[in-house]
Structure 1
Amino acid sequence: MPNHVRIRDVAERAGVSVSLVSTYLNSPDKVGERSSAKIQRAIDDLQFVPNEAARQLRNGVSRMVAFVAFDIGDPFFTAVARGAQQRAAEAGLRLVLAETRGDQQTETEYVALFKEQRVRGVLLAPAHDPASYLTGLRRYGIEAVLIDHAPAPGWPAVVVGNRAGGRLAVEHLLDQGCTRIAVAGGTLDIPQVVDRRRGAADSVADRSDVLLMSYDSTTRDVSAGREIGHRLLASAVRPDGVFCVNDSVAAGVRETLVAAATDIPGDIAIIGYNDIATEAAGFETLSSIRVPDEHLGSTAVDLLLKSLDHPGFADQVEFTPELIIRASSRRTL
């Protein structure tokens, strides 16, 4: 049954003016403690739900920030969203999530939907070239920040040095004595995967004694890693080191290799990317490349807030990845 409680009903129950209730709903910090308590008690008693659409229509400003990402199920993006949500809440904004699974049509439709809703801003972690999205958003007065994607001229962005991260991972495997190295997971239509593979290639550019192999997968989850693990075991040239484009793929590879009685890291050393050891069980011994995921999200919101105050603001912040060595790759040479 619909709830038709109005602001006027809340005001009457609380014994205050309608304007004071409105102020409490929009700027609670401007209302005194006693009045706030009375208004909130009336809201709870009457089960009043503010009409956000009407509030936005009156004020002309939305409190909604959209985060469009291609894989919210990836613990990395989950952590980024958590950091963005916390910072948005501190600024009086609310974060909504949209997952595209890398599908360009879905990505286009979500951006169009948020444009129609006149959201306050968009945090965009696209799987495809976002140029057309960005132009359309700004035409409607909506600012956007790119997350973990190659910066676009004239737009703020927070990025990870993925090429440097790929280089760190493979240099570590080289230091452990690996000479047949597989780069596992993803495809070349994903910018982050491209950059990580480029970094891997940089590491062996002057090493004629090292073989670098690529194992693609259409997804980048544990099941993709398991399938890659079987391919590694069946390969005529079995690698002695594996750099996986994320930790989920690395976990799947390791699971398959361990089930086949492979010595990790003695026979095959494994390193992942994103360091989700603190986010999910089973990753505690996995070497990885760490990026400050939550800080990435909060920084993206900070850039968005600045761009709201200064349209056209286009600062770009790059985070440096860090090598984290654990048992899955550490050998005694």
Structure 2
Amino acid sequence: MAGGRLVSMKDVARRAGVSVGTVSNVLNRPEIVSGDRRERVEAAISELGYVRNDAARQLKLGQSRTVGAIVLDSANPFYGQLVGGIEGAAEDSQLMVIAGSTGNREQRERLYLSLFEEQRVRGILLASTGGSAELVAAIRGRGTPVVLVESEPGAHGSSVRVDDIAGGRIAVEHLAGLGRRRIGVVAARQDLRQVADRLRGARAAAEAAGIGFEVIEAEDLSVLAGRTVGEAVVARPRAERPDAVFCVNDLLAVGVLQAFAFRHQVAVPEEIALVGYDDIAFARSTVVPLTSVSQPADLMGRTALALLEEEIASPEAPPRQVSFTPTLVERESTIG
């Protein structure tokens, strides 16, 4: 600070006895500045505590080093793992990531999209509620690349996703293979593509196996909502309970498991087998370790950033859609 204000390049130039252009060259092309002048500028920078405005420089050059990431729910550890993958890849490329969570709300998603565009970020990685397609297309048209994460199949532009229909299917196929005949699927927010696809896959597997299938609606996609559903299942007469439950995410499954374990009212998996989705880190350390459908969250994040950089490097190249196949991780909640 100089007299209570930020130190400018002019201040540095005045202290070093050189031109502003020389200071700029020391900061950006030091190899073309003589050793004596470079040392004087570097000493002035140190004495005055000058910090260059890199954001302004990047804006002028049109080369931002900041990536915007928008996820559906920061309370879900899956999205923490996803952002972790983005940040890991960004660190390798000397980029910065700013992440925002929409809380599954379209209005907040649109706000983040607009703010990131206004900030002239390098690009946006978006796990969408599905309601901002027109805004995304407009932002792309104005020159900011957007890569969709957990996108609709065949989405416009580059995208990375997991085959959630396959994920729902393998969960119920696993339960049917264990001899379970009455499947309850705990779900919320069926308007979200991911949830709808998991339900589609689960229903198709149940129909193929000729077993009972029931959708149990939760208030939202949280642990507390899962616990409420679990308590409602426990309150049923034993003959009316499902003998297996598949939850469309692990948070719901953890809540259901808590309700079942309370006072040992339901034995898992002996009475009711339980499967979650996402394979968050906590799934392996629940009171009964949770069988879960695993998504490669870290790899998805890294892939999304790689697709963004590909688009920046070759804007005329056709977009790429990358799809991963989920896998089932078996633990004691189904196999005892």
Q: Which TM-score applies when normalising by structure 1?
A: 0.87
Q: Which residue of 2 aligns with 1:306?
A: 310
Matched, 1:23 2:28: yes
Q: Secondary structure at the match of 1:205?
A: helix
Once the two structures are superposed, residues 210-239 of structure 1 have per-residue CA deviations (whole angstroms, 9 ceiling, x without a partner) of 211111223211111101101211235201
Q: Which moved more, 1:37-46 or 1:79-88?
A: 37-46
Going by fraction, where is helix more abundant, 1 or 2? 2
Q: Which residue of 1 aligns with 2:291?
A: 287
Q: Which residue of 1 aligns with 2:193?
A: 191
Q: Which residue of 1 aligns with 2:268?
A: 264
**Structure 2 vs 1, CA of residues 42 and 151 (structure 1 numbering), >3 Å: closer, same or farther?**
farther
| Partners of 2:175 and 2:162 in 1: CA distance | 21
| Partners of 2:58 and 2:159 in 1: CA distance | 27
Once the two structures are superposed, residues 140-179 of structure 1 have per-residue CA deviations (whole angstroms, 9 ceiling, x without a partner) of 1011111012145430010001111111111111112211
- Mapped contact 2:160–2:304 kept (Cα < 8 A): yes
Structure 1 residue aligned with 2:203, among 197, 201, 204?
201
Gaps of 5+ in 1: none
- Greater Rg, structure 1 or structure 2? 2
Q: Secondary structure at the match of 1:204?
A: helix
| Partners of 1:11 and 1:76 in 2: CA distance | 50
Structure 1 residue aligned with 2:142, among 140, 143, 152?
140
Identity of aligned residues (%): 37
Q: Which residue of 2 aligns with 1:168?
A: 170
Cα RMSD (Å) of the superposition? 3.1
| Partners of 1:85 and 1:247 in 2: CA distance | 23
Q: Secondary structure at the match of 2:334?
A: coil
**Structure 2 vs 1, CA of residues 45 and 248 (structure 1 numbering), >3 Å: closer, same or farther?**
farther
| Partners of 1:36 and 1:224 in 2: CA distance | 62
TM alignment of 1:232-271, pairs within 5 A: 232-235=233-236, 237-261=240-264, 262-271=266-275
Matched, 1:211 2:212: yes
Structure 2 residue aligned with 1:181, among 165, 180, 183?
183
| Partners of 2:145 and 2:67 in 1: CA distance | 10
Q: Quote the offset at 1:251 in angstroms.
A: 0.6
Alignment coverage as a number of residue pairs: 324
**Structure 2 vs 1, CA of residues 12 and 104 (structure 1 numbering), >3 Å: closer, same or farther?**
same
Give the partner amino acid of 2:178. Q
Q: Which residue of 1 aligns with 2:97?
A: 95
Structure 2 residue aligned with 1:324, among 317, 320, 329?
329
- Mapped contact 2:182–2:213 kept (Cα < 8 A): yes
- Mapped contact 1:182–1:213 kept (Cα < 8 A): yes
Structure 1 residue aligned with 2:60, among 49, 58, 65?
58
Q: Which moved more, 1:3-12 or 1:246-255?
A: 3-12
**Structure 2 vs 1, CA of residues 173 and 19 (structure 1 numbering), >3 Å: closer, same or farther?**
same
**Structure 2 vs 1, CA of residues 284 and 97 (structure 1 numbering), >3 Å: closer, same or farther?**
farther
Q: Which moved more, 1:311-320 or 1:245-254?
A: 311-320
Q: Quote the offset at 1:280 in angstroms.
A: 8.2
**Structure 2 vs 1, CA of residues 149 and 7 (structure 1 numbering), >3 Å: closer, same or farther?**
same
Q: Which TM-score applies when normalising by structure 2?
A: 0.86
**Structure 2 vs 1, CA of residues 272 and 46 (structure 1 numbering), >3 Å: closer, same or farther?**
farther
Q: Quote the offset at 1:14 in angstroms.
A: 9.5
Q: Quote the offset at 1:242 in angstroms.
A: 0.7
Q: Which moved more, 1:221-230 or 1:8-17?
A: 8-17
Give the partner amino acid of 1:121. G
- Mapped contact 2:283–2:291 kept (Cα < 8 A): no
Once the two structures are superposed, residues 36-68 of structure 1 have per-residue CA deviations (whole angstroms, 9 ceiling, x without a partner) of 999999867755443244213321222111111
Q: Which moved more, 1:115-124 or 1:55-64?
A: 55-64
